[in-house]
Amino acid sequence: MKAVRAVLLALLLGWALPAFALVAVPQLTGRVVDQTGTLSSGDIAQLTEKLADLQTRKGSQIAVLIVPTTDGEAIEQFSLRVAEAWKIGRKKIDDGALLVVAKNDRRLRIEVGYGLEGALTDVTSKRIIDEDITPKFKSGDFAGGISAGVNRMIGLINGEKLPAPEPPHWDYRQSIDFDHLNPFWLFFAFFVSATLRSVLGRLLGSFAAGAFVTALAWFLLGSLGLALAAGVLTFLIFVFAGAPSSGRGGSWSSSGSSSSDWSSSSSSSSDSGSFSGGGGSFGGGGASGSW
């Protein structure tokens, strides 16, 4: 019986340990994720602009990932794990593609979503690697190789018939510079809330102040949950603590400063804050190469 248990334990460890040893899938922080410092900020910005333009025009998503190594894992398996985790491309359209470079391993792969397998066939993906990317990699021009490969991928996707992307929805919040106007909105909300409480009385005024802050927060943030939370908090402050007088405005401003700092940090977003996979699926299509 002990021998059977030992064999089962050995089999279990033999299956589980390799799984734990796999390189973790990097976090999707933007259209271009470089964990090696190979690309300059300018290179990343140029690539990001191209890929964002593709998504705007066609709806398709391409992401680029550069890692030091897959630590012995086949790049085909690693690339598919990343693709499945990031879900590049639109849901049910599956028009995503992923370019993965394992720099120290001198290996790379183009992973293609189901919806792009007509444009980026296995043969075409292999030609992009062999003709556009690896020649530049061999000369040390990694930025040039990636850019050339991405350009050709975009050109092929441009010729593919895909469902049109949804028209962009204008977001009034994008026209507001929260870094500069956030103190204004805090002061404005406080002033109106204090006035409402003063005119309508403690209970009714506090309720009106909470409703006003809820509406204002919903307009500014676009989140009903956050707006309701801000409104309830305002109601509780004014109904229990009372409206601070103008002479104590400094304490209110002090507590509001942390909110200003939080808003400033959270609004300082780049591509990393606005880009995410759209739910696309992958089935292992694409090609691999080396240099």
Beta strands in the chain (DSSP E): 32-34, 61-67, 96-102, 107-113, 282-290
Percent of the chain with pLDDT over 90: 49
- CA neighbor of 260 nearest in space, from 171, 175, 189: 189
Considering only CA atoms, which of 107, 106, 104, 97 is closest in space to residue 76? 107
Structural tokens at position 7: 């064999």
pLDDT tens digits, 140-170: 999 999 999 999 999 999 988 888 887 655 4
pLDDT at 145: 97
Q: How far is CA 261 from CA 149, 185, 223, 258, 269, in A?
A: 41, 14, 19, 5, 14
pLDDT digits (tens, 9 = 90+) for 62-71: 999 999 999 9
Tens digits of residue pLDDT in 92-115: 999 999 999 999 999 999 999 999
- Residue 16: pLDDT above 70? no
Give the pLDDT of residue 258.
36
Q: What is the Cα–Cα distance from 245 to 127, expressed in whole angstroms?
A: 72
Mean pLDDT of 173-181: 46
Q: Which pair of structure tokens corresponds to residue 16?
A: 């589980």
pLDDT band for 20, please (50, 70, 90 cuts): very low
Neighbours of 81 (CB within 10 A): 18
Mean pLDDT of 189-207: 77
Q: Which residues pair with 290 in a beta bridge?
A: 107
Region 246-263: mean pLDDT is 38
Dist. CA 45–CA 59, nearest whole Å: 19
Among 239-243, 262-266, 287-291, which is the least confidently predicted range? 262-266
Distance CA 117, CA 125 (A): 10
DSSP readout, 156-204? Answer: HHHTS--PPPPPPPP-GGGGS-HHHHHHHHHHHHHHHHHHHHHHH-HHH
From 269, 273, 176, 258, select the one nearest 220 (Cα to Cα): 176
